[in-house]
Amino acid sequence: MKHSSGQVSINLTSIKNNYLFLKRFCKPSVVSATVKASSYGLGEANKIVASLVKLKCKNFFVANVKEALKIRKKFKSINIFVLNGLGIKEESVFFKNKLTPVLNTYSQFEKWTRYLKKNYQRNIMIHVDTGMNRLGFQEKDIDKLKKIKKTIFI
């Protein structure tokens, strides 16, 4: 039986060119990079982040806190958003390391905003489900979140 093998390599030049193209194409919007799952299993998230930081990319999305902390060790001034949201008793880790959870549920929303109310103000990010029906708030939930937000002063 003949076996096939594949090879995956990261072309940083292509990544940089793609980022610059999107930045021009999407102007004046902000372009962010997703480097979750260690760059989708390629294990080169820090190299990719370093390349994009040189091009003034400031916003990066990762899957979980562990990935965020690895990147934060090397990159202190970028914004890191954690797609899995806020886990059990992770509030202080997020706050201390200047990470932003992408809030997917009312429970996460309430927990994070309660923590922020006791500490300091910080930006929040809400995940709205746009059709995949996996994670996030439904469009009908947005008005309720706006009302809650006004009552907690964030």
Per-residue pLDDT at 83: 92
Residue among 148, 144, 112, 142 at smallest CA distance from 127: 142
Instruction: List C-alpha distances in Å: 7 to 4, 37, 114, 151.
Output: 10, 18, 47, 53
Q: What are phi and psi of 113, to 5 degrees?
A: -70, -35
Tokens 């809650």 label which residue? Answer: 148
Q: Mention every residue, 6+ apart, whose C-beta is less than 8 A from residue 91.
A: 111, 112, 115
- Report pLDDT for 111: 87
Pairing of strands 59-62, 33-34: parallel
Per-residue pLDDT of the chain (154 residues; tens, 9 = 90+): 677 787 777 889 999 999 999 999 999 999 999 998 776 666 778 999 999 999 999 999 999 999 999 999 999 999 999 999 998 899 999 999 999 999 988 888 888 888 887 777 677 788 878 777 677 888 788 788 777 665 444 3
Q: Residue 128's beta-bridge partner residues?
A: 137
pLDDT for the residue 129: 80
Nearest to 97 by CA among 127, 139, 65: 65
Percent of the chain with pLDDT over 90: 51
pLDDT value of position 40: 67
Beta strands in 35-96 (DSSP E): 59-62, 79-82
- Measured distance CA(106)–CA(116) in Å, rounded: 15
- What's the whole-model pTM score? 0.83
Q: Which pLDDT value is given to residue 149?
A: 63
